[in-house]
Homo-oligomer: A and B are copies of this chain.
Amino acid sequence: MAVFVNGKFCKDPNVATAEDFFYSGLQKPGNISNPLGSKVTTVNVDQIPGLNTLGISLARIDYAPYGLNPPHTHPRATEILVVVEGELYVGFVTSNQLENKLFTKYLKKGDVFVFPEGLIHFQLNVCKTNAVAFAGLSSQNPGVITIANSLFGSNPPINYNVLTKAFQTLMQSKN
């Protein structure tokens, strides 16, 4: 029986070993043969039990040529990303209070960008070669909400009236 206490139990610290703080597997690229052309490999408290309560996790992100890590949010974490291979076009959108400004940047190898907690952000590979990035996240369990999936791919689907009204209204207000 699994028990859940803010997500995870702690192991008895007297029997913990180095293995509880270790993970192997980020050397190989994630499988990017998918329509989006990107793959996020996460290393959080599910992979490393010793991360529990410590407030941090890691991810490797692989991008096929022109691959996209589509607009998404992390409900419980800020992300700091560094490009280790290729070039990326990245951005996030500020909240309504700051008028939904889009902040973007072209990143080369070694460039770093921050996506503040809860804001919608994305990364696009703008080159014809693969790209790779590493990202630190400020939670051992940051969560991911891919906007397209959450809005149009939920199970069951969101009521049709909700979606059409939300998007038609926006479109009308822009015309």
Chain A interface, DSSP helix/strand/loop, else mixed: mixed
Residues of chain B within 8 A of A55, CB atoms compared: 55, 78, 138
Answer whether residue A32 sits at the interface, using C-beta atoms and an 8 A cutoff.
no
Answer whether residue A129 sits at the interface, using C-beta atoms and an 8 A cutoff.
no
Distance to closest chain B CB from A167 (angstroms): 5
Residues of chain B within 8 A of A157, CB atoms compared: 102
Residues of chain B within 8 A of A36, CB atoms compared: 165-166, 169
Q: How far is the CA of A162 from the CA of B75 in the complex (A)?
A: 21
Among A13, A60, A74, chain B packs the most CB atoms within 10 A around the CB of: A13
Q: Which residue of B lies closest to A85 (CB)?
A: B84
In the complex the two chains form, is B35's CB within 8 Å of A172's CB?
Answer: yes
In the complex the two chains form, is A110's CB within 8 Å of B50's CB?
Answer: no
Residues of chain B within 8 A of A4, CB atoms compared: 9-13
Answer whether residue A109 sits at the interface, using C-beta atoms and an 8 A cutoff.
yes
How many A residues touch B, CB cutoff 8 Å? 116
Q: Mark A54-74, 1 if CB is under 8 A from B, else 0.
A: 111110100000101011011
In the complex the two chains form, is B25's CB within 8 Å of A120's CB?
Answer: no
Distance to closest chain B CB from A20 (angstroms): 8
In the complex the two chains form, is A17's CB within 8 Å of B110's CB?
Answer: no
Distance to closest chain B CB from A8 (angstroms): 9
Distance to closest chain B CB from A130 (angstroms): 15
Distance to closest chain B CB from A150 (angstroms): 4
Q: Which residue of B lies closest to A14 (CB)?
A: B98
Residues of chain B within 8 A of A79, CB atoms compared: 56
- A150 partner, pick from B14, B93, B105, beta carbons under 8 A: B93
